[in-house]
Amino acid sequence: MALDTVLRWGIVGTGYVAKRRVEAIAAQGRSQLVAIAGRQPDRILALDPDRTAAHYGHWQDLLTHPDLHGVVIATINSDHGAIATAALKAGKHVICEYPLTFDLEEAEFLLHLAQERDLLLHIEHIELLGGLHGAMQEYCPVIGNIHYARYITLSPQPLKLNSWSYNREQFGFPLVAALSRIHRLTDLFGPVATVSCQLRYWDQDTLPDYRACLCGTQLQFTSGLIAHVTYGKGDQFTEALRQFELQGDRGTLWFDQDQGRLTQGETVQPLTLETRRGLFKQDLDGVVAYLCEGKPLYVQAAASIYALRVAVAAQQAAATQTVVRV
């Protein structure tokens, strides 16, 4: 595409991430929002009160919008794969919030389809752009050979009725849906050899809805590093936790929310993380630079699909209560 091309985007979805995407497109000088698709007209109108974009009740109709360059998928997780498939077959570039799909074979098919048609398939992983990941990349070499990692995120939330994010079929297996927890580790430490996993749901009366979930997995990396990842959310938790710990033979890195520390013997160095604001804008800037200037993206779709492979192995391990090879 020419350097002065204004990329015309359509968004599928009307929730929090869709709102952030609308803001990012508005702030991006070479992008224009031309279409939004969602199930509820009032929520579409809330995103676009001046009706500067076309409003569609079905994502299939959005794909017929004239002169559309690309589609941003920011809707129910279980719909991602079908929308991405249709968009690529319609000749559109795709930006997709993770996970691309629940199915590993479908993910590989979509990667091949995008390559075959010379289209962009970009799976968003803004965790790589934030201050936590930047600090770990900077300080991991300082603590030497890393042999242990612990990553825990617990999110207390009030009971949510009729919410897709608390529905097993629509949200998906917790570590597939929250794929960034796995992807952050595979980006830092490479391939995983084996996975074990435990999973608990607190169900609502209307299955497959649930009120809370807790998922814990152990990853054995081919390097020998062992990582414990815990993810939980819902009304069974009372205190929010977002902690990351790395133990190496020359020191320890520890992060809690936006603060951290580097410990080496008796020396403790406080670390302050950069803000997480503006990451969706950075993500879109990278996509536009790739499409218009050929600059490399900060993340490759194949890397996200590998993290999905590990998460699917965790799902199998939880179902069978066995150790699964990746």
- For 127-180, give the DSSP string: GGTSHHHHHHHHHGGGG-SEEEEEEEEEEE----SS-GGGBHHHH-SHHHHTTH
pTM for this predicted structure: 0.96
> What's the pLDDT score for residue 277?
85
Give the Cα separation of 289 and 291 in Å (integer): 6
Residues 40 and 137 grouped into a single domain: no
Residues 209 and 321 grouped into a single domain: yes
Phi, psi of 274 (to 5 degrees): -70, 155
- Is 286 within the bounds of a domain? no
Residues 159 and 228 grouped into a single domain: yes
109, 124, 139: which is the final residue of a domain? 124
Number of domains in the chain: 2
315, 179 contact by CB (below 8 A): no
Residues 159 and 259 grouped into a single domain: yes
Which residues pair with residue 54 across a beta bridge? 35
Sequence-separated (6 or more) residues with CB below 8 Å from residue 231: 152, 153, 154, 174, 175, 178, 181, 213, 214, 215, 216
Residues 143 and 205 grouped into a single domain: yes
Residues 271 and 157 grouped into a single domain: yes
- Is 314 within the bounds of a domain? yes
Residues 166 and 98 grouped into a single domain: no
> What's the pLDDT score for residue 2?
67
CATH number at residue 227: 3.30.360.10
What percentage of the chain reaches a pLDDT higher than 70?
99
- Is 148 within the bounds of a domain? yes
Domain residue limits at 144: 128-277+309-325
Give kind and range of the element (H or E) at residue 185: helix 180-189
Could you tell me the two tokens for 118? Answer: 């010379």
Residues 32 and 95 grouped into a single domain: yes
Give kind and range of the element (H or E) at residue 254: strand 251-256
Give the Cα separation of 220 and 225 in Å (integer): 6
Give the Cα separation of 137 and 121 in Å (integer): 25
- Is 282 within the bounds of a domain? no
Comparing C-alpha atoms, which of 174, 179, 176, 185 is closest to residue 150?
185
Q: Which residues of 201-239 are buried (b: 16+ CB within 10 A; e: fewer)?
A: beebeeeebbbbbbbbbbbbbeeebebebbbbbbebeee
91, 124, 157: which is the final residue of a domain? 124
| DSSP assignment letter at 295 | P
Q: Which residues of 249-276 are buried (b: 16+ CB within 10 A; e: fewer)?
A: eebbbbbeeeebebeeeeeeeebebeee
CATH number at residue 110: 3.40.50.720
> pLDDT means per 10 residues in the chain (326 residues)?
85 97 96 97 96 97 96 98 98 98 98 98 96 95 98 96 95 98 98 98 94 98 98 97 97 95 96 88 97 96 98 98 98
Residues 316 and 212 grouped into a single domain: yes
124, 159, 192: which is the final residue of a domain? 124
